[in-house]
Amino acid sequence: MKPDGKVVLLGDMNVGKTSLLHRYMERRFQDTISTVGGAFYLKQWGPYNISIWDTAGREQFHGLGSMYCRGAAAVILTYDVNNLQSLIELEDRFLALTDTASTDCIFAIVGNKVDLTNEYALLLEAEEENRPEKPVTSCISTKVQKQVHLDDAVALYKKILKYKMLDEKDVPAAEKMCFETSAKTGYKVDCLFETIFDMVVPIILRQQAEGPLQTVDITNYKSAKRTKSGCCA
Ligand SMILES: Nc1nc2c(ncn2[C@@H]2O[C@H](COP(=O)(O)OP(=O)(O)OP(=O)(O)O)[C@@H](O)[C@H]2O)c(=O)[nH]1
Ligand SMILES: [Mg+2]
């Protein structure tokens, strides 16, 4: 069966891509081994089948990345909130891989492992504000200071728009597309994937109407990087 749309997870090794996908699809957190090559899950979303690709962050598999991104309707750029370098790598090493994605590809930026930070208890508290009994927020001392802040992710999102020559008013707002998650506890994991699936549906419809390799408005810069049509369904 051919999937209707494709979502790809990219990011450095060890940031938690496999764990996020596991948490969402299998509803649990378990030990992972570093991914070799890539693997995908199929998710039924309404009448559509969406393939979600987990890629390897290891440098040695880097060459495969643009192949996995080909025609992608959404790319999830993942970093570890406790590792600034993993955010920098998204811009330096992974962004260029998305050149093969669909021209109207959606980008999400995801900071994972938020459970390890001292801000996590506050995040949970904010979530549960409406409950009469507030959760006990102990153990804060065992947590670490977050290295990457949401503002840094928002700044990266804006750089991506520049790179893609997109106007901020034509795409979802940065604040909506930058997430902080924990694959370990499940924090915001459903929200991340489901937000993206909803946004991917119109892209699927457009791809189905136009064929997988669309030619776009000729005034669009990216259409100048012509792709041969019809050769690579
Ligand atoms: N505390 C915590 N640990 C996590 C979380 N997500 C992943 N980990 C751990 O981080 C390590 C790497 O997770 P993976 O999911 O294998 O990372 P990956 O991005 O798939 O790595 P590659 O496949 O090498 O690219 C594992 O030991 C996970 O258990 C999280 O949300 N919180
Ligand atoms: Mg992995």
Q: What is the mean pLDDT, run by run of 10 residues, along the chain of 233 residues?
A: 92 98 97 92 97 96 91 97 98 96 96 96 84 55 87 98 94 96 98 98 93 51 43 39
What is the structure's pLDDT at 131? Answer: 65
Q: In testing the pocket of ligand 1, which one of 26, 32, 82 has its CB within 8 Å of the most ligand atoms? A: 32
Residues counted in the chain: 233
Q: Looking at the whole model, is its pTM more than 0.90?
A: no
Q: In testing the pocket of ligand 1, which one of 15, 19, 36 has its CB within 8 Å of the most ligand atoms? A: 19
Structure-token pair, residue 110: 């995801």
C-beta 183 within 6 A of ligand 1:
yes
Q: Whose CA is nearest to atom 30 of ligand 1?
A: 113
CA 43 to ligand 1 center in whole angstroms: 21
Residue 206 CB-half CA count within 13 A: 16
Nearest ligand, CA 56: 1
CA 197 to ligand 1 center in whole angstroms: 22
C-beta 113 within 6 A of ligand 1:
yes
CA 68 to ligand 2 center in whole angstroms: 14
Q: Which residues have beta carbons under 5 A from ligand 2 (an ion)? A: 17-18, 35
Q: In testing the pocket of ligand 1, which one of 9, 10, 18 has its CB within 8 Å of the most ligand atoms? A: 18
Query: Does ipTM surpass 0.85 in this model?
Result: yes
What is the structure's pLDDT at 211? Answer: 72
C-beta pairs of 21-30 under 8 Å, 24+ apart in sequence: 21/52, 21/54, 22/183, 23/183, 23/184, 23/186, 23/189, 24/189, 24/190, 24/192, 24/193, 25/52, 27/186, 29/183, 29/184, 29/185, 29/186
Enumerate the H helices of 178-227 as residue ranges. 189-210
CA 132 to ligand 2 center in whole angstroms: 39
C-beta 115 within 6 A of ligand 1:
yes
Tell me, what DSSP letter sits at residue 222? G
Amino acid residing at 136: V
Evaluate whether 74 touches 199 at the Cβ level (below 8 Å). yes
State CA 198 to chain mean position distance: 14
